[in-house]
Amino acid sequence: MKKAFLLIFTLSFVVAASAQSNVYFTSEITAESLVRVFQALGVEPNGRVAVKISTGESAKSNYLRPEFIQNLVNATDATIVECNTAYGGVRDATAGHLQIIKERGFDQIAKVDIMDSEGDMEIPVSDTTWIKHDIVGSHLANYDFMINLAHFKGHARGGYGGVLKNQSIGVAAKRGKCYIHTAGESTTSISGSNTQDSFLESMAAAAQAVHNYFKQDGRDIVYIDVMNNLSVDCDCNPLPAAPEIADIGILASTDPIALDKACLDLIFDYNPTPGNNPQPLIDRITELHGTHIIEYAEEIGLGTTQYNLIDIDATGVNEINQENPDPETLRYNVFTIDGKKVLHNAKSLQSLPAGVYIINGKKQMITR
């Protein structure tokens, strides 16, 4: 009888989870697994494909290396795209940025396009609370499909950097970066008088603008977060702090909020071990209210914080059922309703006592 009840619970949980966004996970961080996790999305690239990365402020920063992304770029016949920075540095003008790209070796694996090298353009935002439009590189118009490929890590302004930051600040032209940083106050300076939350909300609005741009006229966009070299510092820092936490894996989704939320859960629910301490990164995110960006992005309709976490290492990519994931492939990050970690990337919920939990971003009741 008990086994029958647990089976009924498991089946009902899968049905309830079907409304959540799928996030695909592999613990293997290789060029080959990057292609596999992209393929797990089941989205065929069409037309002119862009892979949006960060090229890194110095050779010492933790940007995704060319040899790591090469297979994905080749498999999708993509152009690597970037925009110039708004702060003083080696990538704040096209000539210097292209030189860095050459030194890094990105131009050896694909065409590289600085999207604001010939100016910018405005695209509409749905949420006009702070910014009235998004100012992106004009070359964005040249692409039909974007792979937002982000290195997940800490960030000195946003708390953390994932696909939402890579899509907002990263796709924005120099004027657009200033506009987002100042929550609509300036297009010439990254310093303004608005609050931290207004900056995060402006990023959410800009990320939604790019998402909406690629969800019309036959275009499309997908999202990948690579959780390696998890420093508290962004790749825009030329001398980042050394990572204090082991590499976790690669995650991908068609929903940017669900994806960043899954990554955040893996950090906040991480079990410390000797030599692996997630606390500095957790503190960086918490001090800057970094999780607010996903809460606000969900509020304005970009996606959902509720997700199915599907381990593609547990099955072949071709065997993945997008609508009804195999329960054997599902993984769970579980917190109490007051935020205490319970299970980290677990294969089962069977060990949970009866109670109410936050399971993969969704409040769930466990009864026994």
The secondary structure of 238-283 as a DSSP string is SSPPPP-S---EEEEES-HHHHHHHHHHHHHT---BTTB--HHHHH
Per-residue pLDDT at 306 exceeds 60: yes
Whole-angstrom distance, CA of residue 201 vs CA of residue 178? 14
Of 254, 66, 54, give the one whose Cα is nearest residue 145.
254
pLDDT tens track for 129-162: 999 999 999 999 999 999 999 999 999 999 999 9
Per-residue pLDDT at 265 exceeds 50: yes
Mean pLDDT of 280-285: 98
Mean pLDDT of 46-55: 97
Please provide the average confidence, as pLDDT, over all residues in the chain: 93
Q: Are 218 and 46 in contact (CB under 8 A)?
A: yes
| Percent of the chain whose predicted confidence (pLDDT) is above 70 | 95
Domain layout of the chain by residue ranges: 20-332
Q: Are 171 and 177 in contact (CB under 8 A)?
A: no
Name the 3-class secondary structure at 327: helix
pTM: 0.93
| CA 126 distance to own-chain centroid | 20
Torsion, Cα 335 160 64 222, to 10 degrees, reads 70
The confidence score (pLDDT) of residue 6 equals 38
Q: Is the dihedral angle over the CA atoms 171, 264, 38, 241 positive or is it negative? A: positive
Per-residue pLDDT at 8 exceeds 70: no
Alpha helices in the chain (DSSP H): 2-17, 31-40, 66-76, 94-104, 163-168, 174-181, 196-213, 256-268, 279-287, 292-299
Beta strand 49-52 with 145-151: parallel, antiparallel or unpaired?
parallel
Beta strand 220-227 with 159-161: parallel, antiparallel or unpaired?
unpaired
Per-residue pLDDT at 214 exceeds 50: yes
pLDDT tens track for 317-344: 777 888 888 999 999 999 999 999 999 9
Cα distance between the two ends of the chain? 12
The confidence score (pLDDT) of residue 316 equals 76
Q: Are 56 and 151 in contact (CB under 8 A)?
A: no
pLDDT tens track for 55-108: 999 999 999 999 999 999 999 999 999 999 998 889 999 999 999 999 999 999
The confidence score (pLDDT) of residue 87 equals 87
Q: Report phi then psi at 106, rounded to 5.
A: -65, -35
Tokens 């989870």 correspond to what residue?
A: 17
Q: How many CB atoms lie within 10 A of CB 28?
A: 14
The band of 4, judged by pLDDT with boundaries at 50, 70 and 90, is very low
Angle (deg, nearest 10), helices 292-299 and 256-268: 150
Q: Are 132 and 176 in contact (CB under 8 A)?
A: no
The confidence score (pLDDT) of residue 132 equals 98
Whole-angstrom distance, CA of residue 145 vs CA of residue 52? 11
Mean pLDDT of 254-282: 96
> Given this structure, which CATH class describes domain 20-332?
alpha beta
Q: Are 252 and 40 in contact (CB under 8 A)?
A: yes
